[in-house]
Chains A and B, each alone.
Chain A
């Protein structure tokens, strides 16, 4: 139910520009981008794709993250066998960096960096999220290594990864209030002192 709402709201905002953006960026993009955009060309799943500074990047609908990741990992031509990094960026007040963010009214972006050892290529996958719908499906079923990265993203940004087996804080302690890497969290904010637990 919740998943559908994310998908719909993003569709209506970005659906129109979707195809155009992909076409514009196809000319100067790489093999990886072409393969992915060809595969998902009829759906509105890929919002934006580019390979600026040599980094291939696709922006996808957060509701479809599992489909995309499964394709990227098991496709014969792509074989992204390693999930190198997972992080979140808070674009509060900085939406102008990526024009599609304000179209989608998105505040956060979950950023995945993938690498294929056999093919020696990289891909950055980004999923924009709105502040009120800050949840996305967990990809721990595809790469086990995503487990701690997702816990860290929950800990520091408060993004909920649905289906994660053990979504607890990892770097901070359980009694910590708030998510410190969100832009509104002040550096000088104090936290409650706690005594020893046992």
Chain B
């Protein structure tokens, strides 16, 4: 008896030792396939190890075996909530390496397509966040809005999710004739849904308690850990690639960069909400300003000519044959080009040896460094705070794991 008491381990016998659990890889309250290895003290997170890679499908290896123009369908699947943004990023990087500039109308259409991608990404993210915090009704409002938006995207590129719309030196197709009118109809509906969504959540006590003052990070740390996009802007840093290094026609458009102050989850949520308004504003301006003209560069070497030209024009036929069989010969060199995707800076770093395929096609995924900082944001907080924090980082498996 006495001997037993001597060896009595209080923590062990009363089961107060830290609890180690696996959360994921497939968990109903996280969108995306990711595993958290948690060490819990009661409900407090003592330690967390994030394990990614469940959606790794060798994007970079596949790119090295494809022709330059064959990479577009792969880029769609990076951030699959906003596929067209990845198309734009890749196309701009290749065009920078080649040294061609697309016609003005093409640039405007690319901006319209990118902002629709951003809208789609933000709708998905905010809706999923609401759902994972228990607000299924709010989720349905934004999914409806996204549905209308996808109909619109379908009208100009024929696909709803994986658009494959942008090409090197141009686009697959022009906007349909009645596009401005149908856009206005959709925006009217979506603005109403937006107001309802905001009313459902922004004064909801439960929602506020779970979002406010959770998952915060200081501006200094956020910069050090490579944050960008809405999560960095929520810390009060007005960094947006569209403003700092304007690409396409963003320098001709009037829009604002919403920023937060504390850097917590609620600020990130509000920044995204405001960005939805700004994106709609950008698209409306574009539809007013958009000039007529060609959508592709007038050079059969870079932009595949139309079937009519291929059948009637010798030069077009030669380039069509060579581009399909050998791939476009992008000049030797290396280039980095960044765009603002819905999660932050999406960069493409390409190395070419002058042949039809890249030597290296690197994607800088915006959610990857932010996921790596997740332990900093949640250590010491409650397990429940992990859910909104992870939502607002918006890890997209396709982009983070590539």
A171 and B402 form a contact (CB under 8 A): yes
Identify which of B237, B349, B371, B376 contacts A87 (C-beta below 8 A).
Answer: B349
Closest Cβ–Cβ distance, residue B25 to chain A (whole Å): 12
Decide yes or no whether A64 CB sits under 8 A from chain B. Answer: no
Chain B residues with CB under 8 A of A144: 221, 224-225, 373, 376
Mark A6-41 against chain B: 1 for CB-CB distance below 8 A, else 0. Answer: 000000000000000000000000000000000000
Point out residues on B near A: beta carbons under 8 Å.
52-53, 56, 58, 60-62, 65, 96-97, 99, 221, 223-226, 228, 237, 239, 244-245, 332-336, 338, 345, 347, 349, 351-353, 359-360, 362, 364, 368-369, 371-373, 376, 401-402
Task: Name the CB-closest residue of A to B239.
Answer: A117
Closest Cβ–Cβ distance, residue B276 to chain A (whole Å): 24
Point out residues on A near B: beta carbons under 8 Å.
52-53, 55, 57, 81-85, 87, 89-91, 94, 96-97, 111, 113, 117, 120, 122, 124, 143-145, 147-149, 156, 170-173, 180-181, 185, 187
B224 and A181 form a contact (CB under 8 A): no
Chain B residues with CB under 8 A of A84: 226, 228, 338, 345, 347, 364
Identify which of B332, B335, B372 contacts A147 (C-beta below 8 A).
Answer: B372
Closest Cβ–Cβ distance, residue A167 to chain B (whole Å): 14
Identify which of B53, B244, B373 contacts A171 (C-beta below 8 A).
Answer: B53
- Please, how many angstroms separate the alpha-carbon atoms of A198 and B108 in the complex? 53
Q: Which 5 A-B pairs have the closest CB atoms?
A: A145-B226, A148-B372, A171-B53, A145-B225, A85-B364
B333 and A52 form a contact (CB under 8 A): yes
**Beyond A180-B61, A181-B60, 18 additional pairs, beta carbon < 8 A:** A53-B97, A53-B99, A53-B333, A81-B224, A82-B223, A84-B347, A85-B347, A89-B359, A90-B360, A94-B353, A97-B353, A120-B245, A144-B376, A145-B369, A148-B369, A171-B401, A181-B61, A187-B65
B58 and A180 form a contact (CB under 8 A): yes
- Can you sample 8 A-B contacts with CB below 8 Å? A81-B224, A82-B228, A89-B351, A94-B353, A97-B334, A97-B359, A148-B372, A171-B56
Chain A residues with CB under 8 A of B60: 156, 181
A82 and B360 form a contact (CB under 8 A): no
Task: Name the CB-closest residue of A to B373.
Answer: A145
- Please, how many angstroms separate the alpha-carbon atoms of A85 and B334 in the complex? 15
Most buried by A among B60, B62, B244, B349: B349
Closest Cβ–Cβ distance, residue B352 to chain A (whole Å): 8
Closest Cβ–Cβ distance, residue A50 to chain B (whole Å): 10
Chain A residues with CB under 8 A of B334: 55, 57, 97
Chain B residues with CB under 8 A of A91: 359
Task: Name the CB-closest residue of A to B402.
Answer: A171
Chain B residues with CB under 8 A of A120: 244-245
Chain A residues with CB under 8 A of B56: 171-172
Residues A171 and B335 in contact in the complex (CB < 8 Å), given A144-B225, A147-B372: no
Task: Name the CB-closest residue of A to B55.
Answer: A171
Chain A residues with CB under 8 A of B336: 55, 85, 113, 122, 124
Closest Cβ–Cβ distance, residue A51 to chain B (whole Å): 12
- Please, how many angstroms separate the alpha-carbon atoms of A111 and B351 in the complex? 11
Chain A residues with CB under 8 A of B349: 85, 87, 111, 113
